[in-house]
Amino acid sequence: MSKERDLKEIVARRIDFFRRKPEAALYTPKVSSRHIEGLYTETAVREHIVKSDYGEAAGGTNKAPNPIELLLSAFAACIEAAYYEFALHEGLQVDSLSVEIEGTLDLRGLFMIDDSVPAGFSGLKYRLHILSPDDETALRALAEKVIAHCPVVDSLTRPTPIAGEIIISTSNQT
């Protein structure tokens, strides 16, 4: 069986299952990150390691994207993957799919220079490129639906409560 056929069946099974058992749709992903050196970190995500660093101009070693670039990457990947899987589910052909995302960030917020300046993005723009022989209206309708239901987009646009705790352990230096 082809990968596309497998994915189409997986999507159909999941939709059916979650309609019958909505409580089973609760998903709680978890990651664990640790500081390695300088501005370089590694985050464990399932069996994967996601690396983060800053460019040299920002004091890093440029070993990996910085955290805000990873957020943009998650945005792009979410749209691409969701579009692809739901295009298959709806019987649409996708010959090529790509996303470009650009954000605007005022670094005075990050550097705590001006408390009236948010530390995060003031705006995000995307370009979703779809190559397909299918009807443009159907392709566009699916794209709009996917973007409206992308969990990364939703997390960026809807206020999400954040809770946590700070645990401090003192080290005895001799």
Convert the pLDDT of each residue in 63-114 to its tens digit: 999 999 999 999 999 999 999 999 999 999 999 999 999 999 999 998 999 9
Could you give the C-alpha distances from 20 to 9, 25, 26, in angstroms and in order?
17, 10, 13
Provide the pLDDT confidence category of residue 155 given band limits of 50, 70 and 90.
very high
pLDDT for 174 beyond 70: no
Provide the pLDDT confidence category of residue 129 given band limits of 50, 70 and 90.
very high
Check: CB of residue 118 under 8 Å from CB of residue 106. yes
* Residue 105 backbone dihedrals phi, psi, to 5 degrees: -135, 130
Domains, the chain, ordered by start? 1-64 (no CATH), 66-158 (3.30.300.20)
